[in-house]
A and B are shown apart, each in its own frame.
Chain A
Amino acid sequence: MSKSRRLLVLAVAVLLLGGLAAALVLRAAGRDDKPSAGGPTVAAGTVTLDRPGSLAFLNGGQGPHRGALASVPADAPESGRTASELNCQRFHAAAGTGVCLRSTPGALAQDNKALIVDSELRTLRSFPLAGTPSRARVSPSGRFAAWTVFVSGESYGAAFFSTRTAIVDTRTWKLEANLEEFAIDMDGRDHRAQDVNFWGVTFSKDDDTFYATVSTGGETHLVKGSISGRSVKTLAENVECPSLSPDETRIAYKKRVRAGASLWREHVMDLGTLRDHALAEKRSVDDQAAWLDDRTLAYGLPTDGAADSTDLWTVPADGSGTPRLLAPGASSPARLG
């Protein structure tokens, strides 16, 4: 092929591919205005975090309020959603305090922040994050907030993953920026490994006790910790993303089905006996479940047929029943009030 011929082919390819790329971007940009047919109805409004009997989540339905914190009456989750102006990738709230993990595209890299908001969703404090938002929790009293981010070197090919989990006291604004500095008591012995990763904090009502996942040496452990004591103690193995029940007798968590396989089943463990049972949900759940009440759990699962969206499902906590769709196109559920 002569040089001019090749340049011509190149020009045509650039035009075709450039046109296709532009069309893809324009389509994604125009998505803002068009709610998908048959999707949940969403209207802008006021969302407050201390209104009893409502359920908050991040709206994932296509349309103008995608990514916004929305609320519905807890007893009628299918009714129209009220969307706030607060956009987050992860959210949790309790007793009028909310934590919103937000990631926005920056000039050179993602700009990741944790926002602590009051019941009117006004930002009280914002903390820069070292990585991609992963888990968020507020203590039942609203005093403490915790978050986990995934830290990575932004590059293919590192045999390596690292998380960072922080807890902040919203009364004193004292920040524990990295729980890895807490003392770890593993089976009665002081554990000083440096490959420790913490994630998925869940708080007790006493404003000191928390539970979390600790991974070290290729195993995941359930730990019970004390914020004031800056220490944790291992309780059980193969426990990820714990969630403490409102009556504080049980935790729901992800149990790895088989070592090496990335498949999890949602289980509930009795903290008194450390005995556990699987829930009726047979699909692999990869979320930190939330208790809607002492009998019901809610969690996100990828939406069928849409890659970047999840639906919220519920299932009874005692292992009975069947999973039920709670809200399509939604994530990060939190029972308010």
Chain B
Amino acid sequence: MYLADRSAPAPGGAKTAADRGPVRAPAVASTVLALGTVSMITDISSEMVTAVLPLYLIAGLGLSPLGFGALDGVYNGVSALVQLTGGHLADRVRNHKLIAGIGYGLSALCKPLLLFAHSLGPISVILTLERTGKGLRTAPRDALISLSTPPELQGRAFGVHRAMDTTGALLGPLAAFLILSLTVDGYDAVFGVSACVAVLGVVVLMLFVPSGADTRPGPSGGAGAAAGTAGSAAVPGADRPAPVRLRDALGLLRLPRLRNLAVCAVLLGLTTVSDAFVYLLLQRRTGIGDQWFPLLPLGTAAVFLLLAVPAGALADRIGRRTVFLTGHALLLTGYGLLLWAPAWPALPFLVLALHGMFYAATDGVLPAAVAATVPGELRATGMALVGTGQALARFGCSLAFGAAWTLWGTGPALAAAAAGLLCCAAVAGFVLRPSAPRDTRPDPNPKPDPKPGPHPDPKPDPKSVRPPR
């Protein structure tokens, strides 16, 4: 579908999206709500730690700025690469819940361990394991969300999930500061409570999330969705499809639509300046008082939280490509304001609002788009491919932006990022154009068929979709 499956002309020429009219929205699948709850609880837990960690490490353990800088780097890279492993493992063992559960469990285990680490080395190891847990769970979790949701409601489902996730991220620091104010140097209490909360997240996952075991074709996306296709007709007879092999996972990259999405995610990731830089630039530009600096990320998160669901639903209605590209246009506007706007009092609010809108229009919409291009039995792998590409690209952007900032200064560096973003968005707009699927119809399987399982279908008909589990 690309990002805009619903606005793409149907291959048979029967109906267009407009003919179908707005999709009547059923409630979000219970699996999505359960996963959203798990993410919310887990984010409360991890953001509790994130909020107090700098003070604990710097004031409590006396780490110097360079030591802390070394730790900050630990967060990166780790989860991006592990994500790929987690995604593929989940497809391989056909149990997304199991791999996600291991990821959530690993992160939960790490929180109390922080109490026993006194120096940089052990703390790095624990934080790396914590990030490994996050990497493991991300792709199977997104695959579960997409597998439990019909194709025309993917954007909304991811929007609901991201909104719940962000709610947790906002509640976490509140909980941590409440505990710190009730106790005396209660870092141990913060870590301990955080671990309890994380365990609760795992319990909710185990009790209320179905396994996503893939012996049947998933109800959405390509797989068995189009009940009439030859591919899915073969499935009911097969008791269990052939196991997913690494080759199949690599073969995913030969799916033009997924490859295009991945390329766009990487290109746009390469020109998306990391949040911390945005906040620093905003402060330099507007001279916001130092006491407000820690609140800037909360502004972005609040806007993201408010708009994630409407943006996802909008993407389902008018096309994910449009919303995704609009999101980047909003970010570009934000860069423009940072660069050229006069010092209005409203400037910080505007920039933060645009920043939050960018996340709302892209963070859940991208996996929703990926879901529609990847067959159910490789869903987690596909999610991971795009997610890893995007994360590594953003990491690369951080390094490049840092270098540009060094060479040219803040203004030119941001102008370069904005110019890059404009070019990449234009390329993405072209690559993801809705007319493209027409000529790619015959090719969804460029390689020899690895198994008798269902093929990705470029144009699933939502009407034939089974209701979500």
Contacts and interface: CB of A to CB of B under 8 A. Distances in A.
Interface of A: 1, 6, 9-10, 13-14, 17-18, 20-21, 24-25, 27-29, 31-32, 66-67, 89-90, 103-112, 127-135, 148, 150-163, 177, 192-195, 197, 199-200, 215-217, 220, 240-241, 254, 256, 262, 264, 284, 286-288, 300, 302-304, 306-310, 331
B406 A193 contact: yes
A199 B186 CA distance: 28
Interface of B: 46, 50-51, 54-56, 58-73, 75-76, 79, 114-121, 124, 131, 173-174, 176-189, 192-193, 196-197, 199-200, 203-204, 207-208, 274-277, 279-280, 283, 289-291, 293-298, 391, 395, 398-399, 402, 405-407, 409-410, 413
B200 A13 contact: yes
Nearest to A111: B291
Contacts of A89: 55, 59
A326 to B, nearest CB: 15
Q: For chain B, what secondary structure do more than half of its interface residues adopt (helix, strand, loop), or is it mixed?
A: helix
A281 B388 CA distance: 44
B117 A161 contact: no
Contact of B66 (A107, A215, A304): A215
Contacts of B56: 308
A40 B296 CA distance: 42
Contact of A150 (B58, B119, B196, B405): B58
A116 to B, nearest CB: 16
Contacts of B61: 286, 302, 307-308, 310
B290 A307 contact: no
A288 B65 CA distance: 11
Given A14-B200, A24-B193, A134-B64, 13 more contacts: A28-B189, A31-B183, A67-B185, A110-B55, A130-B294, A134-B65, A135-B64, A153-B274, A158-B75, A158-B274, A199-B65, A241-B64, A307-B116
Nearest to B69: A161
B119 A302 contact: yes
Contacts of A27: 189
A102 B295 CA distance: 18
B59 A90 contact: yes
Nearest to A148: B65
27 contacts: A6-B208, A13-B199, A21-B192, A28-B185, A28-B189, A31-B184, A31-B185, A66-B185, A89-B55, A109-B173, A112-B291, A128-B289, A133-B58, A150-B65, A152-B276, A153-B279, A154-B51, A156-B75, A157-B75, A158-B76, A158-B277, A161-B65, A161-B68, A215-B66, A300-B62, A308-B61, A331-B62
B293 A1 contact: no
Contacts of A254: 64
A307 B117 contact: yes
B291 A110 contact: no
Contacts of B274: 153, 157-160
Given A1-B207, A128-B289, A286-B67, A152 B184 contact: no
A110 B275 contact: no
A337 B23 CA distance: 78
Contact of A17 (B59, B117, B199, B295): B199
A135 B187 CA distance: 21
Given A25-B189, A302-B118, A152 B174 contact: no
A260 to B, nearest CB: 9
Nearest to A220: B66
A44 to B, nearest CB: 15
A273 B300 CA distance: 52
Given A10-B203, A159-B395, A131 B294 contact: yes
Given A29-B183, A195-B406, A217-B406, A155 B276 contact: yes
Contacts of A287: 62, 64
A286 B70 CA distance: 13
A64 B395 CA distance: 45
A82 B50 CA distance: 34
Q: Residue among A134, A153, A304 with the most chain B CB within 10 A?
A: A153
Contacts of A307: 60-61, 114-118, 187-188
Q: Residue among B65, B73, B283, B291 with the most chain A CB within 10 A?
A: B65
A160 B58 contact: no
Nearest to A103: B55
Contacts of B279: 153
Q: Residue among A10, A20, A161, A262 with the most chain B CB within 10 A?
A: A262
Contact of A154 (B208, B283, B294, B395): B294
B67 to A, nearest CB: 5
A233 B457 CA distance: 65
A166 to B, nearest CB: 9
B356 to A, nearest CB: 14
B300 to A, nearest CB: 10
Contacts of A215: 65-66
Q: Residue among B56, B70, B174, B280 with the most chain A CB within 10 A?
A: B280
Given A21-B192, A31-B183, A156-B50, A310 B395 contact: no
A160 B121 CA distance: 19
Contacts of B182: 25, 28-29
Contact of B187 (A66, A286, A308): A308
9 smallest beta-carbon distances between A and B, as pairs: A153-B276, A105-B177, A159-B398, A89-B59, A28-B183, A161-B69, A109-B294, A128-B291, A28-B189
Contacts of B75: 156-158
B170 to A, nearest CB: 9
A150 B46 CA distance: 20
A28 to B, nearest CB: 4
A159 B76 CA distance: 7
Contacts of A264: 64, 67
B119 A284 contact: yes
Contact of B184 (A28, A154, A162, A304): A28
A160 B185 contact: no
A118 to B, nearest CB: 23
Given A29-B183, A158-B398, A309 B60 contact: yes
Q: Residue among B119, B274, B290, B409 with the most chain A CB within 10 A?
A: B290
A9 B192 contact: no
A305 to B, nearest CB: 8
